[in-house]
């Protein structure tokens, strides 16, 4: 009987549950959405029960597709929205507050106060991260200060804290196991990158008791078994866990130093494998643990950079300007012109991320003439998506001291062939799009399959991974230099524009 891996991809707006066979083929997939909660401007929450219910519904729905019987599931892999923080009661599993989502900015003032006190260099040295409300530590502190009855429960040792992976593992194992993998732990600002343990100094800085946190475990290897999950038999090993972007790097088979992937989503997330030692960036990129295979395996580290607005820029053209009816229409509209025609769009609609880290920046549209039209703005938007990524990748290459040969791409906007050709041209590197575009799911499956011996090693996974299409560089170097000069001038105007 063939063996299958069940993957849980728990995302910001919904949960995907999928089944992969031994050949690495995705055989079934179901997505279940759940509501977003916005208590105040800049605040974002999820009901933990809604997260778990969406996963349960997804499991039952994917099994109804009858690709395999539940008994054929050899392992479960989990990948998840990162940085989102939860508190729950160890005895009952009941949440003590809504989850604080990674997008939430409610702890900005506290993070600014730590920065003003000179603590950012400490956080950067120990955790590899910038001091920002994006990460989990300040969210845990807020939850501990604002959840009803938490003081009494803390005194009795009844409080559990964790990111979404920890919460799902707790639920899947019937409350038997409280763990997180190294990739998710590295996004909290509480783990020492080198020791891969909770750091007492960082715990004190963020006022988080270490005893409420999960144990840190490798990303691949059996860490618990199902118990009491509707639709699944007891005893299925949970054997793979990684944060979503780390899982995508693994799912893209980026196993060598210098291998990199870019996920085109609402924003874009770029990760580059930097090997077995953490590399602290000189240019504001994040250092993170990519994965660890087994308790005896060496950790693999990565550099990460993200552009806040990528696919969201296309959504703005659709919803804010009404220029297109559907997001996919931007490709045909942009293809009506040969180039951007001097129009520059810097999509700093929520500030600029790496490598600029300018939250105060605002979007600019410049270079307009009487000859400019909708197509030029659409083309400038695609250019901007690619140019932001090129800025990040060049910094990564400089930090690593190694030239990247190819960039592997995934995410929803990776279906846009014109965008990918522009990306190859402005970067001056070949792009590769995989056959299995659901790379976060693939990464969770690969990690879990390795954890139970379904696949022997990463060499075997390299054979499973297959390219669907390559995009080769077509732009001449002189044209690339001119395009980058125009973009850099627009960036300078944006970064130095007076703020209202």
Adjacent-strand bridge partners of 289: 301
Residue 498 in this model has a pLDDT that exceeds 90: no
Enter the pTM of the model: 0.89
Going by C-alpha positions, the residue among 185, 175, 172 that lies closest to residue 242 is 185
Return the minimum-mean-pLDDT range out of 129-143, 226-240, 296-310. 296-310
Q: What is the DSSP string of 268-293?
A: EEEEEEEESS----SSSPEEEEEEEB
pLDDT digits (tens, 9 = 90+) for 102-117: 888 889 899 999 999 9
Architecture of domain 4-252: 2-Layer Sandwich (3.30)
CB 77 within 8 A of CB 239: yes
Residue 353 in this model has a pLDDT that exceeds 80: no
Going by C-alpha positions, the residue among 351, 349, 350, 383 that lies closest to residue 367 is 383
CB 111 within 8 A of CB 188: no
Q: Rounded CA gap, 291 and 310, in Å?
A: 26
499 falls in which pLDDT band (50, 70, 90)? low
Q: Which residues contact 282 (CB under 8 A, 6 or more apart)?
A: 398, 399
Q: What's the pLDDT score for residue 85?
A: 96
Over residues 318-329, mean pLDDT: 89
pLDDT digits (tens, 9 = 90+) for 380-427: 999 999 999 999 988 888 888 888 888 999 988 888 999 999 999 999
Q: Which residues contact 111 (CB under 8 A, 6 or more apart)?
A: 131, 132, 133, 138
Q: In the sheet that 99-100 helps form, which strands lie side by side, from edge to edge?
A: 45-46, 99-100, 85-89, 159-163
pLDDT digits (tens, 9 = 90+) for 61-100: 999 998 899 999 999 999 999 999 999 999 898 999 999 9
Q: Rounded CA gap, 47 and 475, in Å?
A: 48
Strands 268-275 vs 260-264: parallel, antiparallel or unpaired? antiparallel
């Amino acid at each position: 009987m063939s063996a299958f891996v069940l993957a849980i991809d728990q995302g910001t707006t919904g949960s995907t549950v999928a089944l992969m066979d031994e050949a690495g083929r995705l055989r079934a997939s179901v997505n279940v959405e759940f509501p977003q909660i916005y208590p105040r401007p800049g605040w974002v929450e999820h009901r933990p029960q809604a997260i778990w219910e969406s996963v349960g519904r997804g499991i039952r729905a994917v099994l109804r597709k009858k690709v395999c019987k539940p008994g054929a599931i050899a392992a479960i892999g989990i990948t998840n929205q990162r940085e989102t923080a939860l508190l729950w009661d160890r005895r009952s599993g009941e949440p003590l507050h809504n989850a604080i989502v990674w997008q939430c900015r409610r702890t900005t003032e506290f993070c600014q106060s730590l920065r003003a006190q000179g603590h950012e260099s400490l956080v950067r040295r120990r955790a590899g991260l910038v001091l920002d409300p994006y990460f989990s530590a300040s969210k845990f502190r807020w939850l501990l200060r604002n959840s009803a009855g938490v003081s009494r429960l803390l005194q009795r040792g009844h409080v559990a804290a964790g990111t979404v992976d920890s919460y799902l593992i707790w639920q899947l194992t019937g409350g038997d196991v409280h763990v997180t993998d190294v990739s998710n732990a590295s996004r909290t600002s509480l783990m020492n990158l080198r020791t891969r343990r909770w750091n007492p100094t960082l715990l004190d800085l963020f006022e988080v008791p270490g005893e409420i946190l999960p144990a840190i475990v490798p990303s691949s290897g059996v860490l618990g078994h199902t118990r009491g999950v509707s639709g699944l038999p007891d005893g299925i090993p949970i054997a793979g866990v990684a944060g979503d972007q780390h899982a995508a790097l693994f799912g893209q088979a980026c196993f060598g130093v210098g291998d990199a992937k870019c996920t085109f989503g609402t924003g874009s997330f770029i990760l580059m494998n930097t090997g077995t030692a953490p590399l602290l960036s000189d240019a504001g990129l994040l250092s993170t643990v990519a994965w660890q295979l087994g308790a005896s395996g060496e950790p693999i580290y990565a550099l990460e950079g993200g552009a806040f607005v990528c696919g969201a820029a296309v959504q703005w053209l659709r919803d804010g300007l009404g220029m297109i009816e559907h997001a996919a229409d931007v490709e045909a509209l942009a293809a009506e012109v040969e180039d951007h025609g001097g129009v520059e769009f810097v999509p700093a609609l929520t500030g600029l991320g790496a490598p600029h880290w300018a939250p105060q920046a605002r979007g600019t549209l410049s270079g307009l003439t009487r000859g400019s039209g909708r197509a030029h703005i659409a083309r400038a938007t695609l250019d901007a998506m690619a140019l932001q990524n090129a800025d990040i990748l060049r910094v990564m290459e400089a930090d690593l001291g190694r030239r990247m040969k190819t960039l592997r791409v995934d995410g929803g906007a990776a279906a846009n062939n014109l965008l990918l050709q522009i990306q190859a041209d402005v970067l001056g590197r070949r792009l590769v799009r995989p056959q299995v575009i659901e790379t976060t799911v693939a990464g969770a499956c690969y990690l879990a399959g390795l954890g139970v011996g379904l696949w022997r090693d990463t060499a075997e996974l390299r054979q499973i991974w297959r390219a669907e299409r390559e995009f080769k560089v077509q732009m001449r170097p002189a044209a690339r230099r001119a395009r980058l000069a125009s973009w850099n001038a627009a960036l300078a105007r944006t970064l130095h524009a007076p703020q209202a």
